[in-house]
Chains A and B, each alone.
Chain A
Amino acid sequence: MKTVRFSVYRFDPSSDKKERYATYEVPYKTGMTVLDGLLYIKERLDHTLAIRYSCRMGICGSCGMTVNGLPRLACYTQVKEVGWSLKVEPLRNHPHVRDLVTNFDEFFKKHKSVKPWLVRTDSREQESPTSQYLQSDAELEKYIQFSYCISCGLCYSACPVVSSLPEFPGPQALALLYRYLADSRDQSRSERLKIVDEAVGIWRCHFAGSCSQVCPKGVDPALAIQLLRREMMRG
């Protein structure tokens, strides 16, 4: 039977002194994803392995990890597309918790800082909308792509700017900022434009495109950020 070699990053800060890579042989099954392999390890080979996952179908965005050097969703990545020997590490740029688990507090804080919700100038309307806000197809297409984000943090982990400048909002937050800016139902354009206009804000994006390359949902954060930059220059 064909087996897949998993080399998994192990480190538990409460007991381990040094990080190490543990190797496991997992029998291959057709259609096996990286997450399937890790769950096999956890069930049969080593119960102490810590991983985070939930939906197993690329919807919840909790199983992000670095597989063979690139950030990927473990449940969304077929073993077949990466190879028979896998190196699985935690996501970069996120604080490490244990084994393959990383902490997303900082990431979600940045997400929240761009006000990812629709804002109406009329506060009564904001609290209890009186009608539906209609949109044309063209208006919808301006932002619909960016609203597919599942906040899995892969783009944040791939971004070279985040890795050197931890204060940078990251591709996810900036793309979501543009998603609400471009929405015809939103009424807080001038406030939104102020949020990331600073030395460590949007101007530090250099269009390295890694965010769009690793995004599992086709959101294309790089495109959103460049369009956001255009809006910011326009003022």
Chain B
Amino acid sequence: MQTSQEFSKAEKFWMNFKLYQFWRFIVLNLKILAAVYQSKRS
């Protein structure tokens, strides 16, 4: 069942690169808010 799939070095770098992650933090917040307000929230 086990496979050898792993994250690449580049992916791991971006996951921990704080400046990029700060940008992602803003994007993720906006993305979640947009998705929630797009949904019915009737």
Tell whether A and B belong to one assembly.
no
Chain B interfacial positions (CB closer than 8 Å to A): none
Chain A interfacial positions (CB closer than 8 Å to B): none
